Copies of this chain bind each other. A is one copy, B any other.
Amino acid sequence: MQQPITDHVDSHLEETIEGLKRLTRQPSISAQRLGVLECGEMVVGMLRDAGFDADLVPTADPGYPGIIAELKGASDRSLLFYNHYDVQPPDPLDEWETPPFEPTERDGYLYGRGISDDKGPIAARLAAIKAVRDTMGELPITIRWCLEGAEEIGSPGFHEFVEQNAERIKSDVCIWEGGGVNWDGRPMVMLGVKGLLYVELECRSAKTDSHSSYAPVVPNPAWRLIWALNTLKDESERIAIPGFYDRIRPALENETKAIAALPDTSREFLHDLGVEMAVGEASGYEFRRRLIMEPTANIAGFGAGYTGQGAKTILPAVARAKLDFRLVPNQDPQEILQNLREHLDRNGFSDVTISSLTSEHPARTSIEDPFVRQVADSARRVYESEPYIVPSMTGTGPQHPVQHILGVPVASCGIDYPGNRIHAPNENIRLDYFRLGVLHTAELITELGA
Protein backbone atom coordinates (compact mmCIF):
# COMPACT_ATOMS: atom_id res chain seq x y z
CA MET A 1 0.00 0.00 0.00
CA GLN A 2 1.33 3.41 -0.93
CA GLN A 3 1.61 5.56 2.20
CA PRO A 4 0.18 8.70 0.54
CA ILE A 5 -3.03 6.81 -0.32
CA THR A 6 -3.35 5.54 3.25
CA ASP A 7 -2.74 9.07 4.54
CA HIS A 8 -5.40 10.44 2.21
CA VAL A 9 -7.95 7.85 3.37
CA ASP A 10 -7.19 8.56 7.04
CA SER A 11 -7.18 12.33 6.76
CA HIS A 12 -10.54 12.22 4.93
CA LEU A 13 -12.15 9.53 7.09
CA GLU A 14 -14.31 11.91 9.10
CA GLU A 15 -15.56 13.55 5.91
CA THR A 16 -16.29 10.10 4.42
CA ILE A 17 -18.31 9.12 7.50
CA GLU A 18 -20.25 12.39 7.32
CA GLY A 19 -21.14 11.59 3.70
CA LEU A 20 -22.29 8.12 4.74
CA LYS A 21 -24.45 9.54 7.52
CA ARG A 22 -26.05 11.98 5.07
CA LEU A 23 -26.83 9.10 2.72
CA THR A 24 -28.28 6.99 5.56
CA ARG A 25 -30.53 9.82 6.78
CA GLN A 26 -32.31 9.62 3.43
CA PRO A 27 -34.70 6.62 3.69
CA SER A 28 -34.90 4.60 0.47
CA ILE A 29 -37.23 1.71 1.25
CA SER A 30 -37.93 0.03 -2.05
CA ALA A 31 -40.60 -2.33 -0.61
CA GLN A 32 -42.61 0.77 0.36
CA ARG A 33 -41.47 3.12 -2.47
CA LEU A 34 -40.30 5.50 0.22
CA GLY A 35 -37.55 8.01 -0.61
CA VAL A 36 -36.06 5.85 -3.37
CA LEU A 37 -35.91 8.59 -6.04
CA GLU A 38 -34.57 11.16 -3.59
CA CYS A 39 -31.81 8.78 -2.55
CA GLY A 40 -30.95 7.98 -6.18
CA GLU A 41 -30.52 11.68 -6.90
CA MET A 42 -28.34 12.08 -3.83
CA VAL A 43 -26.05 9.25 -4.99
CA VAL A 44 -25.79 10.75 -8.47
CA GLY A 45 -24.76 14.04 -6.82
CA MET A 46 -22.08 12.31 -4.77
CA LEU A 47 -20.72 10.52 -7.86
CA ARG A 48 -20.57 13.76 -9.84
CA ASP A 49 -18.81 15.49 -6.92
CA ALA A 50 -16.18 12.73 -7.17
CA GLY A 51 -15.68 13.46 -10.86
CA PHE A 52 -17.93 10.77 -12.36
CA ASP A 53 -20.05 11.20 -15.41
CA ALA A 54 -23.24 9.89 -13.69
CA ASP A 55 -26.94 9.66 -14.53
CA LEU A 56 -30.18 8.19 -13.30
CA VAL A 57 -31.20 5.70 -16.00
CA PRO A 58 -34.82 4.52 -16.14
CA THR A 59 -35.74 0.89 -15.59
CA ALA A 60 -39.10 -0.65 -16.49
CA ASP A 61 -40.54 0.87 -13.29
CA PRO A 62 -39.82 4.63 -13.17
CA GLY A 63 -39.94 4.52 -9.37
CA TYR A 64 -36.70 2.54 -9.25
CA PRO A 65 -34.15 4.10 -11.63
CA GLY A 66 -30.71 2.62 -12.03
CA ILE A 67 -27.55 4.71 -11.95
CA ILE A 68 -24.74 4.39 -14.48
CA ALA A 69 -21.50 6.24 -13.89
CA GLU A 70 -18.04 6.33 -15.43
CA LEU A 71 -14.76 7.92 -14.46
CA LYS A 72 -12.10 7.48 -17.14
CA GLY A 73 -8.59 6.62 -16.06
CA ALA A 74 -5.14 6.37 -17.61
CA SER A 75 -5.82 3.00 -19.24
CA ASP A 76 -8.76 1.29 -20.91
CA ARG A 77 -8.56 -1.52 -18.42
CA SER A 78 -11.86 -1.26 -16.55
CA LEU A 79 -13.38 -2.16 -13.21
CA LEU A 80 -17.17 -2.22 -12.62
CA PHE A 81 -18.66 -1.65 -9.18
CA TYR A 82 -22.12 -2.93 -8.41
CA ASN A 83 -24.10 -1.47 -5.52
CA HIS A 84 -27.68 -0.63 -4.62
CA TYR A 85 -28.99 2.48 -2.93
CA ASP A 86 -32.29 1.06 -1.62
CA VAL A 87 -32.70 -0.47 1.85
CA GLN A 88 -34.93 -2.95 3.66
CA PRO A 89 -37.93 -1.74 5.71
CA PRO A 90 -36.71 -0.88 9.23
CA ASP A 91 -39.41 -2.66 11.23
CA PRO A 92 -39.73 -3.92 13.93
CA LEU A 93 -39.01 -0.33 14.97
CA ASP A 94 -39.21 -0.92 18.71
CA GLU A 95 -36.15 -3.15 18.60
CA TRP A 96 -33.82 -0.39 17.37
CA GLU A 97 -31.68 1.19 20.09
CA THR A 98 -31.47 4.41 18.04
CA PRO A 99 -33.79 5.43 15.18
CA PRO A 100 -32.93 3.61 11.91
CA PHE A 101 -32.68 6.76 9.83
CA GLU A 102 -30.69 8.78 12.37
CA PRO A 103 -27.22 7.23 11.96
CA THR A 104 -25.50 7.08 15.33
CA GLU A 105 -21.87 6.39 16.28
CA ARG A 106 -21.24 4.38 19.47
CA ASP A 107 -17.98 2.79 20.62
CA GLY A 108 -16.47 2.40 17.18
CA TYR A 109 -19.69 1.25 15.53
CA LEU A 110 -22.06 3.19 13.29
CA TYR A 111 -25.76 2.23 13.39
CA GLY A 112 -28.54 2.82 10.87
CA ARG A 113 -30.74 1.14 8.26
CA GLY A 114 -28.62 0.60 5.16
CA ILE A 115 -25.37 1.58 6.87
CA SER A 116 -23.93 -1.81 5.87
CA ASP A 117 -26.39 -2.88 3.19
CA ASP A 118 -25.50 -1.06 1.01
CA LYS A 119 -24.70 2.58 1.71
CA GLY A 120 -21.48 2.01 3.68
CA PRO A 121 -19.87 0.24 0.70
CA ILE A 122 -20.88 3.10 -1.62
CA ALA A 123 -19.24 5.64 0.67
CA ALA A 124 -16.15 3.45 1.11
CA ARG A 125 -15.63 2.96 -2.62
CA LEU A 126 -16.05 6.67 -3.26
CA ALA A 127 -13.42 7.40 -0.61
CA ALA A 128 -10.99 4.88 -2.15
CA ILE A 129 -11.45 6.31 -5.64
CA LYS A 130 -10.84 9.86 -4.40
CA ALA A 131 -7.74 8.77 -2.51
CA VAL A 132 -6.21 7.03 -5.54
CA ARG A 133 -7.14 9.83 -7.93
CA ASP A 134 -5.95 12.67 -5.67
CA THR A 135 -2.74 10.85 -4.84
CA MET A 136 -1.88 9.63 -8.35
CA GLY A 137 -3.28 12.61 -10.28
CA GLU A 138 -5.63 10.36 -12.21
CA LEU A 139 -7.06 6.84 -11.88
CA PRO A 140 -4.80 4.15 -13.36
CA ILE A 141 -7.87 2.37 -14.81
CA THR A 142 -11.36 3.32 -15.90
CA ILE A 143 -14.01 2.78 -13.24
CA ARG A 144 -17.65 2.20 -14.08
CA TRP A 145 -20.40 1.99 -11.57
CA CYS A 146 -23.81 0.45 -11.83
CA LEU A 147 -26.27 0.96 -9.00
CA GLU A 148 -29.88 -0.05 -8.64
CA GLY A 149 -32.74 1.11 -6.42
CA ALA A 150 -34.71 -2.11 -6.17
CA GLU A 151 -32.26 -4.76 -4.99
CA GLU A 152 -34.09 -5.33 -1.72
CA ILE A 153 -37.26 -6.23 -3.58
CA GLY A 154 -35.43 -8.66 -5.84
CA SER A 155 -34.10 -6.38 -8.60
CA PRO A 156 -37.19 -6.37 -10.85
CA GLY A 157 -36.20 -5.28 -14.37
CA PHE A 158 -32.47 -5.38 -13.64
CA HIS A 159 -31.89 -8.16 -16.16
CA GLU A 160 -33.37 -5.99 -18.95
CA PHE A 161 -31.52 -2.95 -17.57
CA VAL A 162 -28.19 -4.75 -17.98
CA GLU A 163 -29.14 -5.92 -21.47
CA GLN A 164 -30.19 -2.44 -22.59
CA ASN A 165 -27.14 -0.73 -21.11
CA ALA A 166 -24.58 -3.45 -21.75
CA GLU A 167 -22.27 -1.16 -23.72
CA ARG A 168 -22.11 1.40 -20.90
CA ILE A 169 -21.63 -1.16 -18.15
CA LYS A 170 -19.43 -3.88 -19.63
CA SER A 171 -15.98 -3.92 -18.02
CA ASP A 172 -13.11 -6.34 -17.58
CA VAL A 173 -13.92 -7.27 -13.99
CA CYS A 174 -16.59 -6.52 -11.41
CA ILE A 175 -16.58 -5.96 -7.67
CA TRP A 176 -19.97 -6.73 -6.18
CA GLU A 177 -21.61 -5.49 -2.98
CA GLY A 178 -20.98 -7.40 0.24
CA GLY A 179 -17.72 -8.89 1.38
CA GLY A 180 -15.46 -7.87 4.24
CA VAL A 181 -13.94 -9.80 7.11
CA ASN A 182 -14.84 -12.96 8.96
CA TRP A 183 -15.28 -13.09 12.77
CA ASP A 184 -11.51 -13.52 13.10
CA GLY A 185 -10.82 -10.32 11.13
CA ARG A 186 -9.37 -12.09 8.09
CA PRO A 187 -10.68 -10.80 4.74
CA MET A 188 -13.13 -12.79 2.66
CA VAL A 189 -13.37 -12.83 -1.13
CA MET A 190 -16.82 -14.03 -2.13
CA LEU A 191 -17.54 -15.43 -5.56
CA GLY A 192 -21.24 -15.81 -6.04
CA VAL A 193 -24.77 -15.25 -4.86
CA LYS A 194 -27.71 -17.47 -4.22
CA GLY A 195 -30.81 -17.13 -6.36
CA LEU A 196 -34.20 -16.25 -4.96
CA LEU A 197 -37.85 -17.00 -5.45
CA TYR A 198 -40.08 -14.85 -3.23
CA VAL A 199 -43.77 -15.70 -3.18
CA GLU A 200 -46.85 -14.76 -1.25
CA LEU A 201 -49.35 -17.53 -0.62
CA GLU A 202 -52.92 -16.54 0.10
CA CYS A 203 -55.98 -18.50 1.16
CA ARG A 204 -59.49 -17.09 1.53
CA SER A 205 -62.79 -18.54 2.69
CA ALA A 206 -65.47 -16.07 3.77
CA LYS A 207 -65.69 -12.53 2.41
CA THR A 208 -65.11 -11.11 5.88
CA ASP A 209 -63.81 -12.20 9.27
CA SER A 210 -66.57 -13.92 11.21
CA HIS A 211 -67.40 -15.11 14.73
CA SER A 212 -65.25 -18.05 15.72
CA SER A 213 -68.34 -19.95 16.86
CA TYR A 214 -68.90 -20.63 13.14
CA ALA A 215 -65.77 -22.79 13.09
CA PRO A 216 -67.65 -26.12 12.93
CA VAL A 217 -68.90 -25.22 9.44
CA VAL A 218 -66.88 -22.29 8.03
CA PRO A 219 -63.46 -23.28 6.60
CA ASN A 220 -60.58 -21.49 8.32
CA PRO A 221 -58.00 -20.23 5.78
CA ALA A 222 -55.30 -20.08 8.48
CA TRP A 223 -55.68 -23.82 9.07
CA ARG A 224 -55.67 -24.48 5.34
CA LEU A 225 -52.51 -22.45 4.83
CA ILE A 226 -50.82 -24.25 7.74
CA TRP A 227 -51.71 -27.62 6.22
CA ALA A 228 -50.52 -26.45 2.79
CA LEU A 229 -47.22 -25.14 4.17
CA ASN A 230 -46.73 -28.32 6.16
CA THR A 231 -46.62 -30.25 2.87
CA LEU A 232 -43.67 -28.08 1.71
CA LYS A 233 -41.26 -28.87 4.49
CA ASP A 234 -41.39 -30.95 7.64
CA GLU A 235 -39.07 -31.14 10.63
CA SER A 236 -36.45 -32.98 8.58
CA GLU A 237 -35.96 -29.57 6.81
CA ARG A 238 -36.04 -31.46 3.49
CA ILE A 239 -38.03 -29.41 0.95
CA ALA A 240 -40.76 -31.67 -0.39
CA ILE A 241 -41.55 -29.85 -3.64
CA PRO A 242 -40.93 -32.46 -6.36
CA GLY A 243 -37.91 -31.59 -8.49
CA PHE A 244 -36.65 -28.93 -6.06
CA TYR A 245 -33.19 -30.45 -5.74
CA ASP A 246 -32.95 -31.95 -9.24
CA ARG A 247 -30.92 -29.25 -11.00
CA ILE A 248 -28.44 -28.57 -8.23
CA ARG A 249 -24.94 -29.21 -9.54
CA PRO A 250 -22.74 -31.09 -7.08
CA ALA A 251 -20.11 -29.05 -5.22
CA LEU A 252 -16.80 -28.74 -7.10
CA GLU A 253 -13.66 -29.99 -5.42
CA ASN A 254 -12.22 -26.47 -5.14
CA GLU A 255 -15.48 -25.24 -3.54
CA THR A 256 -15.39 -28.02 -0.97
CA LYS A 257 -11.72 -27.26 -0.26
CA ALA A 258 -12.43 -23.53 0.11
CA ILE A 259 -15.28 -24.20 2.55
CA ALA A 260 -13.07 -26.60 4.51
CA ALA A 261 -10.41 -23.87 4.77
CA LEU A 262 -12.83 -21.44 6.44
CA PRO A 263 -12.68 -21.21 10.23
CA ASP A 264 -15.45 -22.65 12.40
CA THR A 265 -17.35 -19.53 13.45
CA SER A 266 -20.64 -21.31 14.06
CA ARG A 267 -20.52 -20.60 17.76
CA GLU A 268 -19.94 -16.85 17.28
CA PHE A 269 -22.62 -16.78 14.61
CA LEU A 270 -25.25 -18.41 16.80
CA HIS A 271 -24.24 -16.55 19.95
CA ASP A 272 -24.55 -13.22 18.14
CA LEU A 273 -28.15 -14.08 17.20
CA GLY A 274 -28.97 -15.62 20.57
CA VAL A 275 -29.69 -19.00 18.98
CA GLU A 276 -29.00 -22.07 21.08
CA MET A 277 -28.71 -24.74 18.42
CA ALA A 278 -28.33 -24.66 14.65
CA VAL A 279 -30.78 -26.44 12.38
CA GLY A 280 -29.84 -30.11 12.37
CA GLU A 281 -27.37 -29.35 15.19
CA ALA A 282 -24.89 -28.47 12.43
CA SER A 283 -21.46 -27.14 13.37
CA GLY A 284 -18.00 -26.86 11.84
CA TYR A 285 -17.72 -27.75 8.16
CA GLU A 286 -21.34 -28.86 7.91
CA PHE A 287 -22.56 -25.53 9.33
CA ARG A 288 -20.59 -23.59 6.69
CA ARG A 289 -21.50 -25.98 3.91
CA ARG A 290 -25.21 -25.51 4.64
CA LEU A 291 -24.95 -21.73 4.80
CA ILE A 292 -23.03 -21.46 1.53
CA MET A 293 -24.29 -24.39 -0.53
CA GLU A 294 -27.84 -25.27 0.59
CA PRO A 295 -31.06 -23.90 -0.86
CA THR A 296 -33.83 -22.90 1.57
CA ALA A 297 -37.58 -22.52 1.98
CA ASN A 298 -37.96 -19.76 4.54
CA ILE A 299 -41.17 -18.29 5.97
CA ALA A 300 -40.52 -14.55 6.00
CA GLY A 301 -43.98 -13.71 7.25
CA PHE A 302 -47.34 -15.22 8.16
CA GLY A 303 -50.45 -13.22 8.97
CA ALA A 304 -54.05 -14.16 9.68
CA GLY A 305 -56.86 -12.91 11.92
CA TYR A 306 -56.32 -11.07 15.18
CA THR A 307 -52.75 -10.70 16.42
CA GLY A 308 -53.28 -7.74 18.79
CA GLN A 309 -53.55 -7.59 22.55
CA GLY A 310 -55.70 -10.08 24.42
CA ALA A 311 -58.31 -12.48 23.09
CA LYS A 312 -60.50 -11.98 20.04
CA THR A 313 -62.66 -14.90 19.01
CA ILE A 314 -62.56 -14.48 15.27
CA LEU A 315 -62.50 -16.82 12.30
CA PRO A 316 -60.21 -15.08 9.77
CA ALA A 317 -61.42 -14.54 6.22
CA VAL A 318 -57.92 -14.60 4.79
CA ALA A 319 -54.47 -15.95 5.64
CA ARG A 320 -51.22 -15.02 3.92
CA ALA A 321 -47.65 -16.27 4.09
CA LYS A 322 -44.52 -14.82 2.50
CA LEU A 323 -41.89 -17.39 1.58
CA ASP A 324 -38.43 -16.93 0.19
CA PHE A 325 -36.56 -19.75 -1.46
CA ARG A 326 -32.79 -19.21 -1.71
CA LEU A 327 -31.48 -21.11 -4.71
CA VAL A 328 -28.09 -22.50 -5.70
CA PRO A 329 -26.60 -23.29 -9.13
CA ASN A 330 -28.29 -24.44 -11.31
CA GLN A 331 -31.77 -24.11 -9.82
CA ASP A 332 -34.21 -22.06 -11.89
CA PRO A 333 -36.67 -19.86 -10.00
CA GLN A 334 -39.38 -20.06 -12.68
CA GLU A 335 -39.22 -23.83 -12.75
CA ILE A 336 -39.49 -23.97 -8.96
CA LEU A 337 -42.46 -21.61 -9.00
CA GLN A 338 -44.18 -23.97 -11.41
CA ASN A 339 -43.24 -27.01 -9.32
CA LEU A 340 -44.64 -25.27 -6.24
CA ARG A 341 -47.96 -24.63 -7.99
CA GLU A 342 -48.20 -28.22 -9.16
CA HIS A 343 -47.25 -29.52 -5.73
CA LEU A 344 -50.01 -27.50 -4.02
CA ASP A 345 -52.57 -28.56 -6.63
CA ARG A 346 -51.59 -32.20 -6.30
CA ASN A 347 -52.01 -31.99 -2.52
CA GLY A 348 -55.50 -30.50 -2.76
CA PHE A 349 -54.53 -26.87 -2.20
CA SER A 350 -55.58 -25.33 -5.50
CA ASP A 351 -57.46 -22.74 -3.38
CA VAL A 352 -54.08 -21.42 -2.15
CA THR A 353 -53.02 -18.72 -4.60
CA ILE A 354 -49.37 -17.90 -5.31
CA SER A 355 -48.12 -14.42 -6.18
CA SER A 356 -44.51 -14.35 -7.30
CA LEU A 357 -43.08 -11.11 -5.89
CA THR A 358 -39.53 -11.45 -7.13
CA SER A 359 -37.03 -13.95 -8.45
CA GLU A 360 -33.32 -14.16 -9.23
CA HIS A 361 -31.04 -16.81 -10.69
CA PRO A 362 -28.07 -18.03 -8.64
CA ALA A 363 -24.59 -17.23 -9.98
CA ARG A 364 -20.96 -18.12 -9.19
CA THR A 365 -17.58 -17.01 -10.49
CA SER A 366 -14.97 -19.74 -10.82
CA ILE A 367 -12.41 -19.90 -8.01
CA GLU A 368 -9.80 -20.39 -10.80
CA ASP A 369 -10.48 -17.00 -12.45
CA PRO A 370 -7.26 -14.82 -12.45
CA PHE A 371 -9.32 -11.88 -11.10
CA VAL A 372 -9.91 -13.84 -7.89
CA ARG A 373 -6.14 -14.00 -7.32
CA GLN A 374 -5.81 -10.21 -7.82
CA VAL A 375 -8.55 -9.47 -5.29
CA ALA A 376 -7.02 -11.93 -2.84
CA ASP A 377 -3.46 -10.62 -3.30
CA SER A 378 -4.48 -7.00 -2.68
CA ALA A 379 -6.49 -8.07 0.37
CA ARG A 380 -3.54 -10.00 1.79
CA ARG A 381 -1.38 -6.87 1.64
CA VAL A 382 -3.95 -4.56 3.28
CA TYR A 383 -5.27 -6.89 5.98
CA GLU A 384 -1.87 -8.52 6.51
CA SER A 385 -3.53 -11.92 6.74
CA GLU A 386 -4.48 -14.72 4.37
CA PRO A 387 -7.85 -14.11 2.70
CA TYR A 388 -10.59 -16.69 2.77
CA ILE A 389 -12.10 -17.64 -0.57
CA VAL A 390 -15.84 -18.14 -0.15
CA PRO A 391 -17.54 -19.87 -3.11
CA SER A 392 -20.78 -17.94 -2.61
CA MET A 393 -22.43 -15.37 -0.45
CA THR A 394 -25.41 -16.68 1.50
CA GLY A 395 -27.51 -13.80 0.17
CA THR A 396 -28.87 -12.87 -3.21
CA GLY A 397 -28.14 -10.28 -5.85
CA PRO A 398 -28.48 -9.90 -9.61
CA GLN A 399 -25.02 -11.24 -10.49
CA HIS A 400 -26.51 -13.60 -13.02
CA PRO A 401 -27.08 -10.98 -15.76
CA VAL A 402 -23.64 -9.42 -15.14
CA GLN A 403 -21.91 -12.79 -15.44
CA HIS A 404 -24.08 -14.23 -18.19
CA ILE A 405 -24.98 -11.18 -20.31
CA LEU A 406 -21.75 -9.21 -19.92
CA GLY A 407 -19.46 -12.19 -19.33
CA VAL A 408 -17.65 -10.39 -16.51
CA PRO A 409 -16.06 -12.23 -13.54
CA VAL A 410 -17.48 -11.02 -10.25
CA ALA A 411 -16.07 -10.95 -6.72
CA SER A 412 -17.22 -9.35 -3.49
CA CYS A 413 -14.94 -7.58 -1.08
CA GLY A 414 -15.79 -4.72 1.20
CA ILE A 415 -16.39 -3.31 4.64
CA ASP A 416 -18.63 -5.88 6.34
CA TYR A 417 -18.13 -8.11 9.34
CA PRO A 418 -20.50 -10.91 10.42
CA GLY A 419 -22.23 -8.85 13.13
CA ASN A 420 -23.67 -6.30 10.71
CA ARG A 421 -27.31 -7.30 11.33
CA ILE A 422 -28.29 -6.48 7.79
CA HIS A 423 -32.08 -6.55 7.20
CA ALA A 424 -32.53 -6.56 10.99
CA PRO A 425 -32.81 -3.97 13.77
CA ASN A 426 -29.58 -2.23 14.81
CA GLU A 427 -27.85 -2.74 11.45
CA ASN A 428 -24.30 -1.49 11.91
CA ILE A 429 -20.73 -1.32 10.63
CA ARG A 430 -17.45 -1.38 12.55
CA LEU A 431 -15.47 1.75 11.71
CA ASP A 432 -12.08 -0.04 11.79
CA TYR A 433 -13.30 -2.57 9.22
CA PHE A 434 -14.83 0.26 7.22
CA ARG A 435 -11.39 1.90 7.00
CA LEU A 436 -9.72 -1.36 5.96
CA GLY A 437 -12.36 -1.84 3.30
CA VAL A 438 -11.60 1.60 1.86
CA LEU A 439 -7.87 0.77 1.82
CA HIS A 440 -8.44 -2.60 0.15
CA THR A 441 -10.50 -1.02 -2.64
CA ALA A 442 -7.78 1.58 -3.21
CA GLU A 443 -5.15 -1.16 -3.26
CA LEU A 444 -7.17 -3.22 -5.73
CA ILE A 445 -7.58 -0.24 -8.08
CA THR A 446 -3.84 0.34 -7.93
CA GLU A 447 -3.12 -3.35 -8.55
CA LEU A 448 -5.48 -3.56 -11.53
CA GLY A 449 -3.67 -0.54 -13.02
CA ALA A 450 -0.19 -1.94 -12.49
Residue of B nearest to A326 (CB): B213
On whether the beta carbons of A209 and B425 are closer than 8 Å, the reply is yes
Question: 0/1 per residue, A113-155, Cβ < 8 Å to B?
Answer: 0000000000000000000000000000000000000001110
Separation of A424 and B313 alpha carbons in the complex (Å): 10
Give the contact stretch, choosing among A49-57, A98-106, A220-228, A254-262.
Answer: A220-228
Report the minimum CB–CB distance from A182 to chain B (whole Å): 15
Interface residues contributed by chain A, number (CB under 8 Å): 92
Asked if A300 and B227 sit within 8 Å, CB to CB, the answer is no
State the CA gap A426–B317 with chains docked (Å).
Answer: 14
| Residues in chain B near residue A312, CB distance under 8 A | 31, 88-89, 152, 300-301, 322, 423
State whether the Cβ of A210 lies closer than 8 Å to any Cβ in chain B. yes
Segment 370-398 of A: residues with Cβ below 8 Å from B: 393-396
**B311 & A212 in contact (Cβ 8 Å cutoff):** no
Q: Is the CB of A309 within 8 A of B208?
A: no
Cβ < 8 Å to B, chain A residues 283-340: 287, 290-291, 294, 296-316, 319-320, 322, 324, 326
A411 within 8 A of B: no
Given contacts A208-B421, A273-B218, A421-B208, contact A322 B306 (CB under 8 A): yes
Residues of B within 8 A of A207 (CB): 273-274
Which A residues have a C-beta under 8 Å from some C-beta of B? Answer: 30-32, 88-89, 91-92, 95, 152-154, 194, 196, 198, 205-220, 222-223, 226-227, 229-230, 233-235, 266, 269-270, 273-275, 277-279, 282, 287, 290-291, 294, 296-316, 319-320, 322, 324, 326, 348, 357-358, 393-396, 421-426
List of 4 A-B pairs having minimum Cβ-Cβ separation, nearest first? A207-B274, A31-B310, A303-B307, A301-B305
